[in-house]
Homo-oligomer: A and B are copies of this chain.
Amino acid sequence: MGGLTVLHECLVTMPHEDFVYLGDGARLPYGPRPLDEIRRFSLEIAGYLEAQGVKLILVACNAATSAALPELQERIAVPVVGVITPEAHAAVQTTRNRQIGLMATEATVAAGRYADLVRTLDAGARLVPVACPRLVPLIEGDEPFGAETTQAVREYAQPLKDAGIDTVILGCTHYPLIRPIFQRVFGRDVALVFSAEETAREVAETLARKGIENDAVREGSYRFLTTGDTGRFRELGARFLQLPLEGVEHVEISELEAAAA
């Protein structure tokens, strides 16, 4: 579901491109699965999408990017863009005092990829991570903008404020949905870096540099595939996409496995 915020950003910044979105609803959540299993699923899905003739694959998930990005890039012929790198790059460019905060799920914090990337991009920058396990359930719940969410964000933000960070990576694709709450809690002097925006920008730049953009005057299309229940995808997905969500098709896991074989 979270990947839909990345698609949202792609749809508004690249309205002339065509998108096909595949959600692995039947095997969610990826978070608690072993890394090699997530890697196998990701390779299946990427193989399936490549067989559909796509010109670029975007891995709009922190867990899949952490587990599988290098292998995907080795095995898939079209360009593969993940989350994480774009945000780390944007945060290093943005910070003035080189103190960067990270808010993300426990798995993302534990994987340590944001910290590695920040160090690679600027050996003098420091990343202060905070795992925020309560946020995804609150965002998927009935009152995403409720007082409980604000209270949770305030608590998670406090150690980052205490550490004097001037930039925060919101390293989870769910977080753009409660952007106003982050903005208010951190105030005007802290820069917020969201996966969705930075990754959409990376995709746009990649298409432009490779000269494989669509004609800018056309209006693009988008459609959805899910291994899970199409009704549930449509219902929860509308909140994340904030654009019409129609044309959801079911795809069998066996079709994905066949593509990888």
Interface residues, chain A, with chain B CB atoms under 8 Å away: 8, 11-16, 143, 145-147, 149-150, 180-181, 183-185, 187-189, 216, 219, 238, 241-246
Q: Could you tell me if B187 and A246 are in contact, using CB atoms closer than 8 angstroms?
A: no
Query: 10 closest Cβ contacts across the A-B interface?
Result: A12-B183, A147-B244, A15-B184, A12-B180, A15-B187, A180-B242, A145-B242, A150-B244, A180-B243, A12-B184
- Interface pair A11/B184, CB less than 8 Å apart: yes
Pair A188/B242 contact, Cβ less than 8 Å: no
- Contact check, A11 vs B147: say whether CB atoms are below 8 A apart: no
Q: Return chain B residues, CB-CB under 8 Å to A14.
A: 188
Selected from B146, B180, B216, B243, the residue in CB contact (under 8 A) with A184 is B243
B243–A8 contact, CB under 8 A? Answer: no
B-chain residues with CB within 8 Å of residue A147 when the two chains form the complex: 244, 246
- The CA-CA distance from A238 to B150 in the complex, in Å, is 14
For the complex, what is the distance from the CA of A92 to the CA of B154, rounded to whole Å? 39
Distance between A90 CB and nearest chain B CB, rounded to angstroms: 19
- Give the residue of B145, B216, B241, B245 whose beta carbon is less than 8 angstroms from that of A187: B216
* Closest B residue, CB atoms, query A238: B145
- A243, B150: Cβ atoms closer than 8 Å: yes
Chain B residue at minimal CB-CB distance from A11: B184
* Chain B residues with CB below 8 A from A243, complex form: 145, 150, 180-181, 184
**Residues on the B chain within 8 Å of A150, using CB:** 243-244
Closest chain B CB from A102 CB (angstroms): 21
A12 contact set on B, CB distance < 8 A: 180, 183-184
A143 to B238: give the CA distance in the assembly, Å. 9
The answer for the CA separation of A194 and B241 in the assembled complex, in Å, is 21
Alpha-carbon separation in the docked complex, A239 to B8 (Å): 19
* A15 engages B145 (CB within 8 Å): no
User: Using Cβ atoms and an 8 Å threshold, which residues of chain B touch A219?
Assistant: 187
A8 with B216, Cβ < 8 A, contacts A145-B238, A243-B145 known? no
A209 to B36, CA, bound (A): 58
Pair A145/B180 contact, Cβ less than 8 Å: no
Min CB gap A196→B, angstroms: 11
The CA of A12 and the CA of B145, in the complex, are separated in Å by 13
Query: Do the beta carbons of B16 and A187 come within 8 Å of each other?
Result: yes
